[in-house]
Homo-oligomer: A and B are copies of this chain.
Amino acid sequence: MTSLSHPDLAGALSGRARQMTASTIREVLKLTQQPDIISFAGGLPAAELLPVEAVREATGAVLDRYGSAALQYGATEGHVPLRQWIADRAGITPAHVQIVTGSQQGLDLLGKILIDEGDTVLVESPTYLGALQSFQPYGPRYVQMPTDDDGIDVDALAEMLQHTRAKLLYAIPNFQNPTGRTLSLERRRRLVELTAEHGILVLEDDPYGELRFRGEALPSLYALALEMGLTPDTSHIIYSGSFSKVLAPGLRDAWVQAAPPITEKLVQAKQGADLHTPTLNQMIITELLPTLRQQIARTVGLYRERADVMVRAMQAAFPADVRYTTPEGGMFLWVTLPSADVDTTALMVRAVERKVAYVPGAAFYALGGGHNTMRLNFTAASPEKIVQGIEALAATIREAGESGAAASTPVVV
């Protein structure tokens, strides 16, 4: 028998791979998988809303109607009736719609076809960690846009654009992940104008838009651009929509709306990435569309109740100087601790000891910062658990304020 030499596997990794790191969220979620932990960390829809019986029936109907075609290879662009439904709703055509395997895939493919090494990508501070992960392999230079309670500060952005050339602006206008904030209508208009003026593409990520439980719905940046004179063939707004938060994340079905120069490249990129989104899943989603309004109404009702319970519990239990957002929809709210010395990453160990978990806010900053912040999910736990978890979190926060110990423990979670 020949004795083979051991190759240097780690040494064979690409520069791109060396820059990838295990995400904080991922590691945190591992910490929280003990069953007695009350987790505000994940971004999971409430399990009791997932339409198990409807999916069972839809699968039967799809297999009856399509037979083996439901299990066969399909078109890279996606299932035509699904693309048509999305197009009709947005007043565009299927040529402007690409189906993707979860909106995360849309972020990856858009990064691949748009970002050259060193291109400037404008991101909110904080922003969705998963977008940063998707773009990272393509070598962007991140520039953080300042934000406040109405989302991106467009005046500050206008000033910034006087001396910053950017390729792409990434934004989550509705119930932002991680802060739960919503971009005001006035600012939406200004953002569409500013980016058109400076020739900057906008990636509008909107997984939560349908989950509004209070206040009035606002038009998407994509819809505003059409109102303001652009067409689906010329718009610089790329819209990312998803069925994960309104039907079922485990089916991994989402879409991108964009002008054909973008969608045509998306098709080519997707062909190399996974050929097409699973056929059966797209057909099941299409079959569920007539129940979508009802499913959203049920979801919004439950999330309103849970958000209110969480906010009331924080009012009752948190120290008065802890600040937090009060979202009008979505799945998350954002907590800021008063002392800039407290490190919520270090604090996680204490929180888990008290059987409660969150995501440390620092993970959501492209360029660092936010060490005294945390993201809380209010959709996955029951109202009783929410109250119990917030009380445990309040105790953790008070303890940290008293001892200051959390600032000095260099624990990486």
Chain B CB within 8 A of A205 CB: no
Contact of B52 with A199 in the complex, beta carbons under 8 Å:
no
Size of A's binding interface in residues, CB under 8 A: 100
Chain B CB within 8 A of A116 CB: yes
- Name which residue of chain B comes closest to A131, CB basis: B272
- Which of A22, A59, A71, A101 counts the most B-chain CB atoms under 10 A from its CB? A71
Give Cα A227 to B3, complex, Å.
Answer: 10
A115 surroundings in chain B (CB, below 8 A)? 14
Q: Which of B112, B134, B138, B250 contacts A70 (CB 8 A)?
A: B250
Give min CB distance, A301 to chain B, whole Å.
Answer: 18
- Name which residue of chain B comes closest to A198, CB basis: B7
Chain B CB within 8 A of A12 CB: yes
Q: Which of B12, B74, B201, B279 contacts A7 (CB 8 A)?
A: B201
Contact of B274 with A274 in the complex, beta carbons under 8 Å:
yes
Contact of B272 with A26 in the complex, beta carbons under 8 Å:
no
Flag A372-398 by CB within 8 Å of B: 1 or 0 each.
000000000000000000000000000
A5 surroundings in chain B (CB, below 8 A)? 196-197, 199
Give Cα A5 to B281, complex, Å.
Answer: 39
Contact of A116 with B273 in the complex, beta carbons under 8 Å:
no
A272 surroundings in chain B (CB, below 8 A)? 20, 104, 107-108, 130, 133-134, 136-137
Chain B CB within 8 A of A320 CB: no
A130 surroundings in chain B (CB, below 8 A)? 271-272, 275
Give Cα A104 to B251, complex, Å.
Answer: 19
Contact of B137 with A250 in the complex, beta carbons under 8 Å:
no
- Which of A1, A12, A236 counts the most B-chain CB atoms under 10 A from its CB? A12
A229 surroundings in chain B (CB, below 8 A)? 1-4
Q: Assuming the A-B contacts A116-B14, A265-B17, are A50 and B26 also in contact, with contact meaning beta carbons closer than 8 angstroms in the complex?
A: no
Give Cα A224 to B211, complex, Å.
Answer: 53
Taking Cβ atoms with an 8 Å cutoff, the residues of A that contact B are: 1-10, 12-17, 20-23, 26, 42-45, 47-48, 50-52, 55-56, 59-60, 63, 67-74, 76, 101-102, 104-105, 107-108, 112-116, 119, 130, 133-134, 136-138, 167-168, 192-193, 196-197, 199-201, 225, 227-230, 234, 236, 248-252, 259, 261-262, 265, 268-269, 271-281
Sample (15) of A-B pairs whose CB atoms are under 8 Å apart: A4-B192, A4-B228, A4-B230, A5-B196, A9-B261, A17-B113, A17-B114, A50-B72, A55-B71, A56-B63, A59-B59, A102-B275, A104-B273, A134-B273, A137-B272
